[in-house]
Structure 1
Amino acid sequence: MAVVEVTIAPLGTGSPSVSHFVAGCHKVLEQAPDLKYQLTPMSTVIEGDLDRILAVIRQMHEVPFMSDAQRVMTTIRIDDRRDKELTMAGKIKAVTDKL
């Protein structure tokens, strides 16, 4: 299982607001019940099978283009741990246990 952070940003839309693009991307995530995700103020974090996550991110990347964006920048950070189960909650707990 992987934990992936993704930011999808349309460029040159004529407005500084991107919330409607983010909402459109999250509608794609809502159609993927096999993935857990968390919206944060700066990105979205997704947990699940890496191949599945990357396929969904590919769909999300297309959303701004469908809303007339001419350019989209997508940034992906992947945490793929193979020695034990990796979850969003587990990563947070590992830090809070040390506080």
Structure 2
Amino acid sequence: MPLLEINIVPVGTNSSSFSSHVGQALRLIEGRGLKYQVTPTSTVIEGELNDLMDVAKEIHEEALHGATRVVTNITIDQRMDKAMNMENSVQSAQQSLQ
């Protein structure tokens, strides 16, 4: 299943904090029933590609409320040779330390 990493940078707000924007993004993701993992600098979402693109667009557009400009970065990770999910990707990286 594809993974999408999203990072939004609202510009032109009254605060340097992003937490309210992240909270709103998480509500949108949860509302769609998608699995996600928050990191200190981004959020990784797991789902079908169309669902991921739809929620990324919604997150970007929602961040425009209260900001004069929003920069949104996304990365899509999709494998065709085997099944993939967030847990397997993290486990594989951790096992490489051994």
What's the TM-score once normalised by structure 2's chain length? 0.92
Residue number among 66, 70, 73 corresponding to 2:68 in the alignment: 70
Residue number among 69, 79, 91 corresponding to 2:77 in the alignment: 79
CA shift at 1:14, angstroms?
2.7
What's the TM-score once normalised by structure 1's chain length? 0.91
Q: Find the residue that maps to 1:76 and give its secondary structure.
A: strand
Structure 1 residue 25 and structure 2 residue 25: aligned?
yes
The equivalent residue for 1:7 is 7
Q: Identify unmatched segments of 5+ residues in structure 2.
A: none
Separation of aligned partners in 2, 1:6 and 1:62: 13
Number of aligned residue pairs: give it: 97
Separation of aligned partners in 2, 1:98 and 1:43: 23
Q: Find the residue that maps to 1:16 and give its secondary structure.
A: coil
Structure 1 residue 92 and structure 2 residue 77: aligned?
no
The equivalent residue for 2:49 is 50
Which residue identity does 1:64 align to in structure 2? A
Which residue identity does 2:76 align to in structure 1? I
Flag as ranges the 4+ runs of structure 1 deviating above 4 A: none
The C-alpha deviation readout for 1:54-90, integer Å capped at 9, x for no partner, is 1011111111222x21111000011111111111111
Q: Find the residue that maps to 1:53 and give its secondary structure.
A: helix
The equivalent residue for 1:37 is 36
